[in-house]
Amino acid sequence: MLLIGVAGTQVTLFSQEDFNQDTGTLANDEHTVFTADDVGATLGITTGVGIKKVPNFSGLKYDTDSDDDLNDSVESARFGGVF
């Protein structure tokens, strides 16, 4: 996954397709949030440009379920974090 945007841009990956915010269960669905970090952060400067590079999901777990791997169960994505 390659996420490029304004620093702080987020994408949330879900293990289920039913991430309808109207149900009130969005935060309860298995998910992981990735955030594009400022490209100048390692140099101590702020550029406003963000990037997050995840070459593969092998070994990564969901934020909400540490027993479930991302590499075999991501079914949907949405821009933004979990509200």
Residue recorded with tokens 């952060």: 41
In angstroms, the first-to-last Cα distance of the chain is 22
The structure's pTM equals 0.80
What is the spatial distance between Cα 49 and Cα 37, in angstroms, rounded to a whole number?
A: 8
Whether residue 83 lies inside any domain: the answer is no
Q: How many domains does the chain have?
A: 1
Domain span at residue 33 reads: 2-78
- Give the model confidence (pLDDT) of 18-73 as tens digits: 566 565 667 777 889 999 999 999 899 999 999 999 998 888 988 888 888 888 77
DSSP secondary structure letters along 29-63: S-EEEEE-EETTGGGT---SEEEEE-S--TT-EET
